[in-house]
Amino acid sequence: MLQESILKGKIALVTGAGQGIGREIALTLAQSGCKVGINDSNRQSATNVAQEIIAAGGSSIVLVHDVSVASEVQIMYQAIVQEFGQIDIVVNNAGIILKNAFCEITEEQWDRIIAVNLKSVFLSCQTAASYMREQRSGKIVNISSVAGKKGGGFLGNTAYGTSKAGVIALTKGVARELGPFGVNVNAITPGFIETDMVKSMTNELRATILGGMALKRPGKPRDIANAVLYLVSPLADFISGEIMDVDGGLMMD
Ligand SMILES: NC(=O)c1ccc[n+]([C@@H]2O[C@H](COP(=O)([O-])OP(=O)(O)OC[C@H]3O[C@@H](n4cnc5c(N)ncnc54)[C@H](O)[C@@H]3O)[C@@H](O)[C@H]2O)c1
């Protein structure tokens, strides 16, 4: 485990941090010394996570915003910078899943999943850049999915996979543009991680997925949080534009 003080005093923002993977990332960064902005569109869950951090002696702020809306993202960044003075680490994790077959996806559903899973990452990276370029430092981690490599997942469909593939390309492009300013930009492609997002999975599908994985177990939110911790730490200062599979040996590409 990394030293507790490795990120002492760093200011971090985690989107979709009210539950699941985002919650675990936020708690892990707080335990590692960060002051953490907890974004979620769900006020109650965001508040619970922020309270958990504060109760453990950390610092946190609740940011209830829909990250698919440009004006909301602007306000969110203004709020965290006003509270903590700057922004060092951003984890773009908020996401939704869509399970409809390709021929049944409506235009409205398509627009929504692209807005929440992809446009939000564009908006957040662009706003983060406006602060980080000036500081000449920063770490951004975007949460994609193995579905972004496979063109859909076991649960998520073509629209979900397309949104997550966009996150991969976006990550590489932003890494190239922000690198000269001392900003590292990477993505993680989680495989099957036990959260609410996958709880509707049948036992049969579960067995199929586990069968194709080297480690033969579902991931835990902590597995993703540990990878984020590494990527935002000084240990990963020379890593940028990397798409890291954290999937128990599923993709191996
Ligand atoms: N669970 C998995 O197996 C898995 C696999 C690959 C990738 N992922 C990705 O990891 C991320 C987290 O997934 P999870 O399993 O923890 O999901 P989850 O559904 O448990 O949590 C997602 C959180 O994002 C929030 N959110 C949704 N839309 C938002 C918006 N517009 N603005 C702000 N907050 C919003 C939700 O309120 C929720 O708290 C997602 O991007 C997901 O696509 C998950």
The pLDDT value given to residue 49: 98
Segment 140-169 shows an average pLDDT of 94
Question: Which ligand 1 atom is the nearest neighbour of the CA of 219?
Answer: 3
Segment 49-59 shows an average pLDDT of 98
The pLDDT value given to residue 154: 78
Residues with CB under 6 A from ligand 1: 15-16, 18-22, 39-42, 45, 66-68, 93-96, 116, 143, 145, 190, 192-193, 195-198
Mean residue pLDDT of the chain comes to 96
pLDDT per position as a tens digit, 213-249: 999 999 999 999 999 999 999 999 999 999 999 999 9
The pLDDT value given to residue 63: 99
Segment 11-25 shows an average pLDDT of 98
Residue of 49, 75, 90, 96 best suited for mutating to test ligand 1, as the one with most atoms within 8 Å of CB: 96
pLDDT above 90 coverage of the chain, percent: 94
Q: Of 86, 83, 28, 40, whose CA–CA distance to 233 is shortest? A: 28
| CA-to-CA separations, 6 to 20, 60, 184, 201, in angstroms, rounded | 24, 18, 17, 37
The pLDDT value given to residue 156: 74
The pLDDT value given to residue 4: 61
Expressed in angstroms, the distance from the first to the final Cα of the chain is 27
| Cα separation, 126 vs 148, whole angstroms | 21
Cβ count within 10 A of residue 173: 14
Here the contacts of 96-100 (C-beta below 8 Å, separation 24 or greater) are: 97/155, 97/156, 97/160, 97/197, 98/156, 98/157, 98/159, 98/160, 99/155, 99/156, 99/157, 100/157, 100/159
Residue of 76, 188, 195, 210 best suited for mutating to test ligand 1, as the one with most atoms within 8 Å of CB: 195
- Smallest CA separation from ligand 1 atom 23, residue: 16
- Judge whether 44 and 66 are in contact, CB under 8 Å: no
Residue of 15, 21, 157, 245 best suited for mutating to test ligand 1, as the one with most atoms within 8 Å of CB: 21
Segment 207-218 shows an average pLDDT of 96
Coil, helix or strand at residue 57: coil
Report the catalytic residues: 160
| Cα separation, 28 vs 225, whole angstroms | 6
CATH superfamily of 11-246: NAD(P)-binding Rossmann-like Domain (3.40.50.720)
| Cα separation, 147 vs 205, whole angstroms | 15
- Smallest CA separation from ligand 1 atom 43, residue: 95
How far away, in angstroms, is 180 Cα from ligand 1 center? Answer: 31
